[in-house]
Amino acid sequence: MIALEHLGFAASAGVLTFVALRGRHVRGDYGALMFTLGVASLYLVVRVHSSFSHAALPVTLALVSTYAFTALAITAFYRVSPWHPLAVYPGPCLAKLSSLWLSYVSFTGKRYEILDALHHEYGPFLRIGPNHLSINSTSAISLYNNAEKDEAYRHPDHNGHVALFFKQDFPELHRARKRVWSGFFTPASISNLIPQLERRTWELVHCIETRQAQSSDGSVNLPESLYHWSHDLTGDMVFGGCNAFELMKNGDPAGVIRTGKVALALLDSIGHTQWLRDILWHLSVTKPMHAIKQLAAQMMRVRVKSMDLPEYRDLASYLLEADIPLHELETDAIVAIIGGMKLHPHSRLSSHRMDPPGSDNTSITASLAIYFLLSHKEYYKRLRKELDEAFPDPTAPLGMEELTALPLLNGVINETLRLESPYYNPRSVPSGGITIDGKYIPEGTTVAIASHSVQTSAENFYPFPKVIRNFIPAEHVGDGQSGQDFHPERWMPEGLGPQTITNRAALGSFSYGQYNCIGKNLAYHEMRHALARLMLTFDMEFAEGFDAKAFREGILNMRTMLLKEELRIVVRRRPGKNPQQSWSARDWAMGTRSEWTKPTMRLHGWRAFAADRD
Ligand code: HEM
């Protein structure tokens, strides 16, 4: 029989492990390897050198179980105990015990709603992990100025490559890389991209009409076409079009968009439990993340070798000019394409059970803006009027300055972002800790502003601050239906009356501080352009039988947005608008296309991706 002193020894080792590892980040894959090696070594020692050699396996299991149980039990006890540095902050018990709670909550796609409900129960400071706080207060914005990204942003293969978005060991590396990227996002650079945007958006018009004509019920799933539009546009802007997948033309049979979406959703949810992420990185469940990594590398390599370049400057040209090594260009390419690509329904690549058409932030926001406009026809009519007045020739190129000056168009985009951009951006408290609203938060704590709660709080947006999930679209019950949550006038000078509160700083859709979205201005312009072109060209309405409530409830957020339901609409060319005119304007935009789009080069990306996938 195994003696008590042996079990005591195993338990002491468990306590020592807790003491040694408390507050430290240990790579999960290394930890799992060490543990496996430790168990195997123990088994050999017991078998060869001890008096228990005849029962080496049960003895080893008893010792290992005692060790693991003690280490886990003492860790759990410490986390819920009054001695934990975050003990004063309330939150669900399961959340205090393990970060797996937050990973699970994130994976539901409804993290923002769950956290919002918990903030109502527990108050503005909420403990949502052993070392993790959510803060429902705009005072937390100041943290974003100097705090580093949380470990959740670490590239899962710990490759140490400098790239935007992923966590770096030294902040100055990030700053230097952001300077390189920023050349591409100046107002002058963005205006050079306008002909591409114009061309792709006319192609979108054509794509929507074609898909509708080909559908069995005479309607079209709007987000799908918009995802393809934004993906094709990203290919042009980032890689000069040499990788063009032409999703609007060809669809997405290889599931490129879905793969990007699943990869991002996985990063978002398992990223909170870093040890798990490090282990899963070696397993097939993270295949979409590997596929995106390979695709990005592939696309960048094609671009680097490309000799025929477009007339405008793509993002890759800025990165190449800065002499960034190829392996880092490949990691930067992940960020660049994840910014622009999302999911496609029915993909063969993912085992994800939902059936969502996904979208990147730009195309999903544009899709949701159309959803809100069709649900609130009074704004649809007002926006149409605003656009008709600004662009008497609806087929003419859409000027950047004119679009930027349109108050309702911008109000519609901001209100859509306010209601449906509940992004979650965790940061790590810098050395010395910080005090927010009189509460001290120790250094190393992971903190995130509860962006959705802040964006829908009456302190920041009044009146009608809240998201109302079970509202009935106005067109179904008549205008003026109470209980609606979409009020774009709050962003306009006259607001919603004298009591209006519109705290613009509380709109955190693009995050804040040193790691905020570098593509914000470009994103706004893309959204304005697409919305204006679609509104000027089409009469739109929901398809017959479209369930607006089910659609809204099916919006999930996991850093990227997933839609459980399709957004099916019916479009018609507006009466009195000559389609021929539109095509000549489109041809004007198409005229900017040069000869670099060689068929062989364009196919290359597809083949390689399909091969990697198989
Ligand atoms: C509606 C559209 C968009 C939204 C709501 C959005 C939102 C965000 C947010 C919230 C972040 C910060 C992430 C974090 O701290 O965790 C971010 C970062 C970033 N975004 Fe966007 N984004 C949009 C469009 C774009 C576009 C069009 C591009 C580029 C073409 C882009 C490129 C980036 C990059 C490179 C970063 C990383 C910045 C850094 O690490 O410093 N985004 N975006």
pLDDT tens track for 217-229? 999 999 999 999 9
Taking residues 116-126, what's their average pLDDT? 97
> So what's the pLDDT on residue 293?
86
In ligand 1, the atom with minimum distance to the C-alpha of 315 is: 30
pLDDT reading at 595 higher than 70: no
In this predicted structure, what is the pLDDT of residue 353? 29
How far, in Å, CA of 55 to CA of 45, rounded?
A: 12
Which residues contact ligand 1 via a Cβ below 6 A? Answer: 164-165, 178, 335, 339, 361-362, 365, 421, 423, 425, 509-511, 515-519, 522-523
Region of poorest pLDDT, from 167-176, 272-281, 340-349, 504-513: 340-349
For 399-406, what is the mean pLDDT? 96
Preceding omega of 407 cis (within 30 degrees of 0): no
Q: How confident is the model at residue 1 (pLDDT cuts 50, 70, 90)?
A: low
Residue 579 has a pLDDT of 52
For residues 250-258, average pLDDT:
84
Amino acid at 66: T
Q: Distance, CA 265 to ligand 1 centroid (Å)?
A: 15
Give CA–CA dist 134/115, Å, rounded: 8
Question: Residue range 42-68: average pLDDT?
Answer: 90
Residue 570 has pLDDT above 90, yes or no: yes
* DSSP β-ladder status, 427-428 and 148-149: antiparallel
- Report the separation in Å between the CA atom of 238 and the middle of ligand 1, taken as the mean of its atom positions: 14
Q: Is the pLDDT of residue 593 over 80?
A: no
pLDDT of residue 602: 37
**Looking at residue 23, what is its pLDDT?**
81
pLDDT, residue 339, reads: 57
Which residue is listed with tokens 């990697």?
612
Q: Phi, psi (5° rounding) for residue 469? A: -75, -35
Q: Which atom of ligand 1 is nearest to the CA of 178?
A: 41
Looking at residue 604, its pLDDT comes to 38
Mutate to test the pocket of ligand 1, among 167, 232, 341, 517 (most ligand atoms within 8 A of CB): 517
The region of weakest confidence among 367-376, 444-453, 574-583, 587-596 is: 587-596
Neighbouring C-beta atoms of residue 122, cutoff 10 Å: 17
Beginning with the edge strand found earlier in the chain, give each strand of the sheet holding 148-149 in spatial order.
125-129, 132-135, 446-449, 427-428, 148-149
For ligand 1, atom 41, the nearest C-alpha belongs to 515
Provide mean pLDDT across the span 328-355. 55
Q: What are phi and psi of 549, to 5 degrees?
A: -70, -45
* Atom 9 of ligand 1, residue of closest alpha carbon: 510
Q: Which atom of ligand 1 lies at the shortest distance from residue 335's CA?
A: 35
Cβ-contact 162, 177 below 8 angstroms:
yes
The residue-averaged pLDDT of 554-569 equals 92
Q: Whose CA is nearest to atom 36 of ligand 1?
A: 517
Label the pairing between strands 461-462 and 501-502. Answer: antiparallel
Task: Please compute the mean of the pLDDT values over residues 554-581 and round it to a whole number.
Answer: 84
Residue whose CA is at the smallest distance from ligand 1 atom 18: 517
The most confident of the ranges 26-40, 320-334, 460-474 is 26-40
- Per-residue pLDDT band at 471 (split at 50, 70, 90): low
Determine which residue's CA is closest to atom 42 belonging to ligand 1. 519
pLDDT at 577: 61
Helix (H, G, I), strand (E, B) or coil at 387: helix
pTM, two decimals, is 0.89
Measured distance CA(338)–CA(357) in Å, rounded:
15
CA of 517 to the centre of ligand 1 (A): 4
Q: Cα(215)–Cα(543) distance, rounded to whole angstroms?
A: 12
Q: What is the mean pLDDT of the chain?
A: 86
3-state secondary structure of 355: coil
Percent of the chain with pLDDT over 70: 87
Residue having the nearest C-alpha atom to atom 27 of ligand 1: 523
What average pLDDT does the segment 459-486 reach?
67
In whole angstroms, how far apart are CA 356 and each of 227, 258, 352, 564?
12, 9, 9, 5
